[in-house]
Structure 1
Amino acid sequence: MTKMHGASAYARVGVESEALQASPHKLITMLFDGAQSSIRAARLHLQAGNIEDKGKAISKAMDIVNGGLAASLDVKTGGEVAENLMSLYEYISRLLFQANLENSDAKLEQASGLLETIGSGWREAGGQSAKQPA
């Protein structure tokens, strides 16, 4: 096992351990962080002209948005808020898709900005609920 492969495996185990011990709120926060990390990587790869890795990073971000964030929504319970979030996630996914097709840093930046806005609201809501008496 190479040093780099070992470090990667160690990091993956750390993330998996954190996920297993995390609250549902923390899991969603981790999804936001993962999507942002993938978009940052995509932007770096785009700037370096590494189109294959840019595409992989965007695909990972789309998987997180669609398979993690959007899939975690409960439209029955969440009502209009959940429906609006679903629409936003669909829009972000389209932005990412277009960014990949067009090699558009601007669309990656826009998707990142929207995720940051939603994610910061999510983090703030979690902080507020943690301060509420039981």
Structure 2
Amino acid sequence: MFTSVNTRAASTYKRVAVDTGVQTADPHQLVSLLFDALIQSLNLARGAMERRDVASKGAAIGKAIRIMEEGLKAGLNLQEGGELAANLKGLYEYSVQRLTLANLRNEVAPIHEVLNLIEPLADSWKQIRAGALQGA
């Protein structure tokens, strides 16, 4: 099956825009992008579960786990971050466990739980940036 030229062009534009956004982002913006991608993956997993689309569910949960492990958790500075970094590490580890359970048992409740933990953190992260920009 072929896709239209407009669909391919839009897809290419989106890929280039994301790549450019990542390449030009400062560390704070990169974390925001990770939170956005994490929340999007969790919502995709939830939707896939509701549609009983096992393959998409597994892919979305796998992506969410990779974002937490390789992006958010790996980026923590445990030596300089003190108690806050240790708490975030624990939160990410707990979230990974809950998502693994959600995937194994095909349960949406752990995904909702992780969303309820991550969304306020992502919002707070964005408010830090907004506050810094207003104070500048």
TM-score scaled by structure 1? 0.92
**Where do 5+ consecutive residues of structure 2 fail to align?**
none
| Counterpart residue identity of residue 120, structure 2 | T
1:36 aligns with 2:43: no
Give 1:2's aligned amino acid.
T
1:82 corresponding residue in structure 2? 85
Could you list the runs of 5+ residues in structure 1 that have no partner in the other structure?
none
**C-alpha displacement at 1:75, in angstroms?**
0.7
Q: Deviations over 1:73-114 (max 9, x none)?
A: 111111111011000010111111111011111111111111
1:97–1:22: structure 2 CA closer, same or farther, 3 Å change rule? same
Match of 2:99 in 1: 96
Which whole-Å CA distance do the structure 2 matches of 1:19 and 1:82 have between them?
A: 23
The number of residue pairs the alignment matches comes to 133
Counterpart Cα distance in 2 of 1:34 and 1:85: 18
Whether 1:8 and 2:24 are equivalent positions in the alignment is: no
Q: Which residue of 2 aligns with 1:63?
A: 66
How large is the RMSD of aligned CA atoms in angstroms? 1.5
Q: Determine helix, strand or coil for the equivalent of 1:118.
A: helix
**TM-score, scaled to structure 2:** 0.91
In 2, the alpha carbon distance for the partners of 1:105 and 1:5 equals 33
Match of 2:76, SS state, is coil
Paired with 2:8 and 2:74, the residues of 1 have a C-alpha distance of 31
Secondary structure of the corresponding residue to residue 104 of structure 1: coil
